[in-house]
Amino acid sequence: MGRDAVRLPVPGGDRGARAHGPRATGTYPDRHGIIENVFTDRRGRRFSYGNDASWIEAEPLWVAAERQNVRAAVYFWVGSESEWHGRAATYRMRPFDASVGEAQKVDQILKWLDLPDAARPGLVMSWWQGCDAVGHANGPNAPEIASQLLAQDRELARLFAGLDARGAWTYTTVIVASDHGMAEVTGVVDAEAALGAAGIPARVEYSRTSACPRGCAVTTRGAAAISPCSRRRRTCSRVPAGCCA
């Protein structure tokens, strides 16, 4: 029996890495520790879309499974590439490679499911491209979104067909979730200037997008990692068409 939801608030807010944390740990960013896509902690360590489990402060789901003798397999997830307190998923794909398509992921997931009972994972987690890059570059209402969705749907259908062929639905639950939505960019907010006007010296670091390769575009949501600094404000003439929302 299937279930769907008209709307589900994202626990991690509108940032990718921060929103992957709740799905990995069942906790909010102030507990799992991944507070932004890019940030610097109090010890001066810099996190930037990292896959090192040492940044995660709450037990990841794949570690909880392994701790209870359930084999886990992870195909790209924030924090999945290294051990967490001495434990890691039995099967983990690394290093992260954004060029790997969903077809390759489906092939590998089905190979995992074809393993003998003693070796087959009881938990499989996989990150998919979705419409993130296409939406940032072209906006959430662009025709390219529909084409990308169709491509993703084809691979999801192929995964479901593989489960059908294996008679796996009696012991399989599939959960499909998104890390954030997206809204059209309608204006630009200079967060660093606003902070400066308020007497708060800061450097605002913006996440890179395909529309702004220099990584300094300011979105309407003002999503940024802010740290005290006196560096010059950076500007960028290219603004992404879509903003995480």
Q: What is the pLDDT of residue 147?
A: 94
Give pLDDT, residue 218.
31
222 vs 204: CA distance, rounded Å: 10
**CA angle, 236 then 237 then 239, to 5°:** 85
Question: Residue 236's pLDDT band (boundaries 50, 70, 90)?
Answer: very low
Whether 144 has a pLDDT exceeding 50, the answer reads yes
Ranked by mean pLDDT, the top range of 46-50, 81-85, 168-172, 196-200 is: 168-172
pTM (2 d.p.): 0.71
Q: Region of 160 please: left (phi>0), alpha (psi -120 to 50) or beta.
A: alpha
- Other CB atoms within a 10 A radius of the CB of residue 141 amount to 13
**What pLDDT shows up at residue 27?**
67
Residue 2 has pLDDT above 90, yes or no: no
Write the pLDDT tens digit of every residue in 170-198: 999 998 887 777 788 777 778 888 888 98
Each residue of 124-138: pLDDT tens digit?
A: 999 898 888 888 888
| CATH code of the region 16-183 | 3.40.720.10
- pLDDT (tens digit per residue) in 195-217: 889 888 777 765 544 444 333 33
Per-residue CA distances from 124 to 35, 53, 60, 62, 73 (Å): 25, 17, 13, 8, 5
Q: What band does 17 get if pLDDT is binned at 50, 70 and 90?
A: low
pLDDT at 225: 37
> How far is the C-alpha of 39 from the C-alpha of 223, rounded, in Å?
12
Instruction: Look at residue 91 in the predicted model and tell me its pLDDT.
Output: 97
Domain ranges of the chain: 16-183, 185-245
Residue 12 has a pLDDT of 52
Instruction: Specify the higher pLDDT residue, 99 or 9.
Output: 99
Cβ neighbour number for residue 237 with a 10 Å cutoff: 8
